[in-house]
Chain A
């Protein structure tokens, strides 16, 4: 649940980018940092291993204006996608308010996408949260690779694999060019704020 500081009149919401290894979570955040410089209220910070795989998380704080006189601040995080960092993913997910699930459109990553979504479901459950209730959007990333002749999963198939039951807003994207990155984030913010207002009775 969003963190409300009555004294400073601030609301902090935590949005986590989740998804399989190498799907483009960090690339999403990098693009956001580059494009929404004015909104950034601090630097983007990355905890990587060599070969720029995320080890702990990326972190980017954004300010998105006021609601009822409260400054609304977003904390964007990515998790490490590599399967072995499961404990870290869970730590980063704690007290999450909204999730952007980034799926990899490359055909050979089909199974990795499904398993990562299951992992998200499981980790949320352990915090008493439900994947069907949490503000969630899905992004089908790396659509640009079709041009390079790389076999991609058709969007309809990804919808069936990942979004048949959830029926959440979904977006095609190419994070490396920025296509779809803003739309994904905006939709996620919208759902997160809606849910926050509901919880606060605003």
Chain B
């Protein structure tokens, strides 16, 4: 009898300490075990309230755990932290590229407003102006304010700031995103008459032809892979070259993307498939679908973890890293 009481007491002590350390799952587990012991030995326990107290504690812990698990991946941080992100998470030695990298880092950490401010400045630097503009569009996509992106594009159009060829690139890029997101906006094209100089006129004429319409997106793709900052990919098709699904192509939506790392959610129902997509496995035939282009390439599974709670429970979160583009 003393043994049981001692055991319960030590479970409760452990639970309290784990809770104070923020080890909430461990604390909960200890309370559950203490509760089970109390129940089993009800006749020995004088304090009839104990079970109630324990289940209250478990309840509070559960709520806390839920709150933390559904907590934000990112929140707007004070300037001091944004400055560190901007300066310390930019690794390029080149000033302009470095500044662009710093701004992209802000966006990667979810500091979209601050990133937008940076890109607005960087757009004035010729060598990176198109990249900056594309990132403005990406930020608006992340902020769910694509209509603002469309307004920005229209400003650029009226400002004569970008060359017609650049404007065309931006239009194709943004229109692709608008279409894929189901936003019903048709972006106007650059009007030839308003750009009278010979050079711009030629640019525009070229971009008006059908052939170039399809070439330009591919060019963007190439350039962006080199940048190691791949364009937004909306879905991927994985063709299995071995295993039970050999020869089959399965398409997955991209849940998020950080540069060349693409995160997919795959259902846990197909055990064999999940089992085959082990970390380190090379995927030799992958089709990447972006709003503006489709291209083939290779990727490697860089991590896989089961989602243990929430609406996607039972699914697997799979990171694949694009390793080459054909």
Q: Point out residues on A near B: beta carbons under 8 Å.
A: 21-22, 43, 45, 47, 49-53, 55-56, 59, 75, 82-88, 90-91, 94-95, 106, 108-109, 122, 126, 145, 148-151
Residues of the A chain whose Cβ atoms lie less than 8 Å from the Cβ of B319: 86
Residues of the B chain whose Cβ atoms lie less than 8 Å from the Cβ of A94: 89, 91
Residues of the A chain whose Cβ atoms lie less than 8 Å from the Cβ of B88: 59, 75
Contacts A49-B71, A94-B91, A126-B321 known; A22 to B108 CB distance under 8 Å?
no
Distance in angstroms between the alpha carbons of A52 and B75 in the assembled complex? 14
Distance in angstroms between the alpha carbons of A143 and B319 in the assembled complex? 36
Residues of the B chain whose Cβ atoms lie less than 8 Å from the Cβ of A108: 18, 23, 26, 29
Contacts A95-B91, A122-B302 known; A47 to B26 CB distance under 8 Å?
no
| Chain B residue nearest in CB terms to A77 | B88
Q: Are A45 and B21 in contact (CB under 8 A)?
A: no
Q: Sorted from nearest, which 8 A-B pairs have the closest CB atoms?
A: A22-B22, A108-B26, A47-B81, A22-B23, A87-B258, A59-B84, A47-B77, A22-B21
Residues of the B chain whose Cβ atoms lie less than 8 Å from the Cβ of A148: 13, 17
The answer, yes or no, to whether B73 is at the interface (CB within 8 Å) is yes
Interface of B is mostly: mixed
Q: Are B109 and A126 in contact (CB under 8 A)?
A: no
Residues of the A chain whose Cβ atoms lie less than 8 Å from the Cβ of B182: none
Distance in angstroms between the alpha carbons of A84 and B70 in the assembled complex? 10
Residues of the A chain whose Cβ atoms lie less than 8 Å from the Cβ of B261: 87, 90
The answer, yes or no, to whether B276 is at the interface (CB within 8 Å) is no
Q: Point out residues on B near A: beta carbons under 8 Å.
A: 10, 13-14, 17-18, 21-23, 26, 29, 68-69, 71-75, 77, 80-81, 84-85, 88-89, 91, 105, 108-109, 258, 261, 279, 302-303, 305, 319, 321
| Chain B residue nearest in CB terms to A145 | B17
Residues of the B chain whose Cβ atoms lie less than 8 Å from the Cβ of A59: 84, 88
Q: Are A53 and B68 in contact (CB under 8 A)?
A: yes
Q: Are A55 and B74 in contact (CB under 8 A)?
A: yes
Q: Are A51 and B22 in contact (CB under 8 A)?
A: yes
- 20 further contact pairs, Cβ within 8 A, besides A55-B75, A83-B305: A22-B23, A43-B80, A49-B68, A49-B72, A49-B75, A50-B71, A51-B68, A85-B73, A86-B303, A91-B258, A106-B21, A106-B23, A108-B23, A122-B279, A122-B302, A122-B303, A126-B302, A148-B13, A149-B13, A150-B14
Distance in angstroms between the alpha carbons of A109 and B81 in the assembled complex? 30
Residues of the B chain whose Cβ atoms lie less than 8 Å from the Cβ of A52: 22
Smallest CB separation, B287 vs chain A (Å): 23
| Chain B residue nearest in CB terms to A85 | B73
Smallest CB separation, A53 vs chain B (Å): 7
Residues of the B chain whose Cβ atoms lie less than 8 Å from the Cβ of A55: 74-75
Smallest CB separation, B107 vs chain A (Å): 12
| Chain B residue nearest in CB terms to A59 | B84
Residues of the B chain whose Cβ atoms lie less than 8 Å from the Cβ of A150: 13-14, 17
| Chain A residue nearest in CB terms to B27 | A108
Q: Are B81 and A56 in contact (CB under 8 A)?
A: yes
Distance in angstroms between the alpha carbons of A186 and B164 in the assembled complex? 58
Smallest CB separation, A15 vs chain B (Å): 13
Residues of the A chain whose Cβ atoms lie less than 8 Å from the Cβ of B14: 150-151
Smallest CB separation, B203 vs chain A (Å): 38
Q: Are B26 and A56 in contact (CB under 8 A)?
A: no
Of A43, A49, A53, A91, the residue contacting B89 (CB under 8 A) is A91
Distance in angstroms between the alpha carbons of A87 and B219 in the assembled complex? 28
